[in-house]
């Protein structure tokens, strides 16, 4: 008998299962609102012009394929730090930030979780928003954390349960890791406003909690600077230890290149140097060193003033299309007798908790070939001029 004979099937991914069902659906007017990526007006993953330009320059001047350093391409790490913490950040000037390129934002979360588990020991706890991106739980559980939840989404107001959030964070033991979405919360689309962020940051500091900011959609709500508010406020408030995991998958439309980074902020330069050595040791034990191509593309764009400006423009177009689709959906729903969906324009990023029930999601799929997650999460970027009237009509019909 095979040594693998007792191995059980892992549970299937609900999102991938939905995509398979969508692909197999023969109805011509089908729409997949379940996707987790940004697609353009034509339903395609865009290839940004700024990226294409760097890629063509690389192709004209091919280079040998040596290994990158364990913590990645130095120019990429430097550019990432400036984007996250601000070009004139006192934290960067003081040498308090240790940044390493990682295999996507997921790699940053995993390396960060592994290292924090080593630092915090067997009693390590992490508090995750309710709800959150499913992989947050998987990554921290697998790294050996005890998982806790804090209240976040309020279904009644379709906004943040801010009182509940503050109450839950206020009850956590000092040293608990608090996982925060910097902007464009996945899956709800519901973000904290500036006043709420100030309060949360003050509480995290006062209670000696360990903020871990996940920023996977920088530039998708209001622009790269404004979307980094949470990180900037943690720095300004004098929080002496926090962590940031960032991803360029969406903001550069480079999903398969796996470009992300992990940054640990320490109390001073010397602490950051020790953290850097520990981040590198953790990467070494996981996958030795990251991949070069995507990092060359991102660094090539961010290091050139001209290409960087072009990137901000292209990112702005993606952001603008998302905002336009949200506004159009609200108008079209209202025109079809469903004015209760005004909250779509108060949500941020590609995702929205629509408030549609499991039964309504099922009706959309069965009667209209419109696919959404059973939680009611929809991807607004999947809407376009060609399908939005059909979707608005169907949503209004199942909402009666």
**Catalytic residue selected from 114, 214, 221, 227:** 214
181/163 Cα distance (integer angstroms): 18
197 tagged catalytic: no
Query: According to CB under 6 A, which one of 112, 211, 235, 260 is a site residue for ligand PMP?
Result: 260
Contacts with 223 (C-beta within 8 Å, 6 or more apart), sequence order: 312, 316, 319
Query: According to CB under 6 A, which one of 31, 70, 71, 104 is a site residue for ligand PMP?
Result: 104
250 tagged catalytic: yes
**Catalytic residue selected from 71, 77, 114, 133:** 133
Residues 161-200 contacting ligand PMP, CB under 6 A: 181, 186
Question: Which DSSP string corresponds to 101-134?
Answer: EEEHHHHHHHHHHHHHHHHH-TT-EEEEEES--H
222 or 363: whose CB is closer to ligand PMP? 222
282/289 Cα distance (integer angstroms): 10
Chain-centre distance of CA 78, in angstroms? 21
Question: Which DSSP string corresponds to 203-229?
Answer: HHHHTT-EEEEEES-TTSSS-TTGGGH
In angstroms, give the least distance from the CB of 260 to ligand PMP.
Answer: 5
79/84 Cα distance (integer angstroms): 9
Q: Select the span of 101-109, 172-180, 236-244, 336-344 touching ligand PMP (CB under 6 A).
A: 101-109
Binding mask 81-100 for ligand PMP (x = CB under 6 A): --------------------
Q: Where are the beta strands (DSSP E) in the chain?
A: 31-32, 97-103, 125-130, 146-151, 153-154, 159-160, 177-181, 210-215, 242-247, 259-265, 351-353, 370-371, 377-379
Nearest to 242 by CA among 200, 303, 280: 200
104 or 266: whose CB is closer to ligand PMP? 104
In angstroms, give the least distance from the CB of 217 to ligand PMP.
Answer: 7
Residues 198-257 contacting ligand PMP, CB under 6 A: 214, 216, 247, 249
Q: Does 353 bind ligand PMP (CB under 6 A)?
A: no
Residues 120-159 contacting ligand PMP, CB under 6 A: 133
Binding-site ranges for ligand PMP (CB under 6 A) = 36, 104-106, 133, 181, 186, 214, 216, 247, 249, 260
- Catalytic (active-site) positions: 133, 214, 250
């Amino acid at each position: 008998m095979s040594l693998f004979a007792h191995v059980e099937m892992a549970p299937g991914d609900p999102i991938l299962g939905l995509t398979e069902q969508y692909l197999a659906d023969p109805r011509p007017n089908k729409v997949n609102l379940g996707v987790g990526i940004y697609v353009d007006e034509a339903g395609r993953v865009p290839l940004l012009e700024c990226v294409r330009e760097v890629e063509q320059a690389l192709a004209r001047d091919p280079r040998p394929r040596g290994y990158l350093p364990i913590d990645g391409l130095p120019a990429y790490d430097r550019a990432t730090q400036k984007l996250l913490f601000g070009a004139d950040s006192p934290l960067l000037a003081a040498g308090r930030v240790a940044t390493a390129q990682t295999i996507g934002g997921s790699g940053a979360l995993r390396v960060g979780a592994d290292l924090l588990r080593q630092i915090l020991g067997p009693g390590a706890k992490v508090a995750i928003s309710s709800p959150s991106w499913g992989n947050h739980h998987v990554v921290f559980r697998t790294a050996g954390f005890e998982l806790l939840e804090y209240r976040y989404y309020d279904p009644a107001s379709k906004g943040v349960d801010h009182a509940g959030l503050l109450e839950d964070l206020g009850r956590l033991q000092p040293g608990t890791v608090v996982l925060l979405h910097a902007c464009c919360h996945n899956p709800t689309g519901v973000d904290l406003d500036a006043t709420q962020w100030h309060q949360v940051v003050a509480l995290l500091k006062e209670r000696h909690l360990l903020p871990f900011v996940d920023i996977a959609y920088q530039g998708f709500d209001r622009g790269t600077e404004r979307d980094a508010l949470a990180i900037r406020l943690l720095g300004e408030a004098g929080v002496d230890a926090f962590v940031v995991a960032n991803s360029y998958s969406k903001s550069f439309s480079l999903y398969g290149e796996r470009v992300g980074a992990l940054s640990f902020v320490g109390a001073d330069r010397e602490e950051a140097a020790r953290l850097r050595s520990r981040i590198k040791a953790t990467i070494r034990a996981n996958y030795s060193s990251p991949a070069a191509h995507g990092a060359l593309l991102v660094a090539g764009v961010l290091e050139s003033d001209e290409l960087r400006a072009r990137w901000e423009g292209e990112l702005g177009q993606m952001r603008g299309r998302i905002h336009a689709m949200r506004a159009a959906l609200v108008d079209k729903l209202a025109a079809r007798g469903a004015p209760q969906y005004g909250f779509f324009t108060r949500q941020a990023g590609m995702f929205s908790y629509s408030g549609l029930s499991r039964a309504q999601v099922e009706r959309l799929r069965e009667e209209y070939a419109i696919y959404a997650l059973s939680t009611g999460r929809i991807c607004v970027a999947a809407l376009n001029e060609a399908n939005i009237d059909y979707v608005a009509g169907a949503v209004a019909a199942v909402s009666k």
